[in-house]
Amino acid sequence: RMSRHVKKLRDHDINPCLAETDATTKCMNDNNYKKDMCTDYFQKYKNCRTFWHGIMMQRKRNGVKPEMPAAEERKKILESMG
C-alpha cells in the first residue's frame, strides 16, 4: 500500500516531473546505480524541477491557485512555448 506522500509524488497533477523521475530511476536500475551513466537524466530532471518551481513561484506571487498548474494546464503552458 502506498503512503499518502508516495501517492502525491505519483500524481501527474501534483508532480510535473513524473516522467523525468521515472526515466532517471529506470536508468539507475539499468546501469547498476552508476550515477555517471545517467547524467543526462539527472540534468533533465533538474531542469524540469527548476522550470516548474519558477512557474509555481510566479503563480504564488500573483495569487494564482493552485500554485502548481494541473497536468492539462501544464501541457498547454509547454505547447504555448513551442
Domain spans of the chain, in order of start: 4-81
Please tell me the pTM assigned to this model.
0.84
Q: pLDDT confidence of 67, banded at 50, 70, 90?
A: very high
Contact 47, 26 (CB under 8 A): no
Compute the Cα dihedral for 52, 43, 38, 33 and give only its sign.
negative
Residue scoring higher pLDDT (13 or 43) = 43
- The percent helix, strand, coil of the chain (3-state, each to 5) is 70, 0, 30
Q: pLDDT confidence of 2, banded at 50, 70, 90?
A: confident
Mean pLDDT, rounded, for 32-53: 97
